[in-house]
Amino acid sequence: MLQKCTCNFSWFPGKNGTRVENFSCVIYNISFMNCTWDAGRKAPDDTQYFLSLQYAREERVVNCPYYIKDALGRYIACSFQHVTIINDPVYFLVKGDSNESEIQFYDESIKLYEIEKLTPPVNITVNCSEDESRCIMQWKRPQLSHEEGDIDHCFQYEIDIRNKKTDAPCGTRGAPEGEARSAHHHS
């Protein structure tokens, strides 16, 4: 005998509109990562959010070590130090806790190298001809947290050349692989 059953099932347990919104992370200075988010629109004022991440193929979970709070005392940002960038996606999970209602969790898998903000090129040198009508600029590419093989060809640079007296742009050039030659006048 078949019985009819009405079931209420949700992939995201908790009250709709309570999970974090506008979640984003950026890695800078090679190994520092900041993640920010907004509290859910329908999250009670006493909601507290907790961020953790898990590297692929590892069972270890890393909890946020440094939180930043909003005016209500809710965690809305997190800073990590010594982040290791790998090719596999990293799993991010933001759980919420409240005495007033259940809070939906937020999760996302992110490839860390896609959110890395690179440092500027280093060892920049400019050598100009005596009449300064021709200059050669050279530099080394930014330092990376991870390097696999020859990746110099992956970089493209943009150079903004300006007149020293008027600060007017003389032109912008795209330059591959750490060298640019210019016939613009730089006086």
* Sequence spans of domains, the chain: 21-115, 122-182
Could you give the CA distance from residue 9 to residue 182 in angstroms, rounded to a whole number? 65
Average per-residue pLDDT in the chain?
82
* pLDDT at residue 147, as a whole number: 62
* pLDDT at residue 100, as a whole number: 94
* pLDDT at residue 35, as a whole number: 98
**Tens digits of per-residue pLDDT, 35-49?**
999 999 999 999 999
Residue in the structure block whose two tokens are 């979640």: 23
* pLDDT at residue 136, as a whole number: 86
For the structural domain made of 21-115, what CATH number should be given?
Answer: 2.60.40.10
Answer for the pair 153, 177: CB distance below 8 angstroms, yes or no: yes
Strand order in the sheet with 135-140: 122-128, 135-140, 179-182
CA distances in angstroms from 85 to 15, 41, 75, 115, 148, listed in the order given: 34, 32, 25, 10, 12
* pLDDT at residue 1, as a whole number: 54
pLDDT in tens, the chain (187 residues): 555 555 444 455 889 999 999 999 999 998 899 999 999 999 999 999 999 999 887 888 999 999 999 999 999 999 999 898 888 999 999 999 999 999 999 999 999 989 998 888 888 888 888 776 788 888 888 877 666 666 666 777 888 877 777 777 665 455 555 555 443 333 3
Residue ranges in the chain assigned as alpha helix (H): none
pTM, to two decimals: 0.72
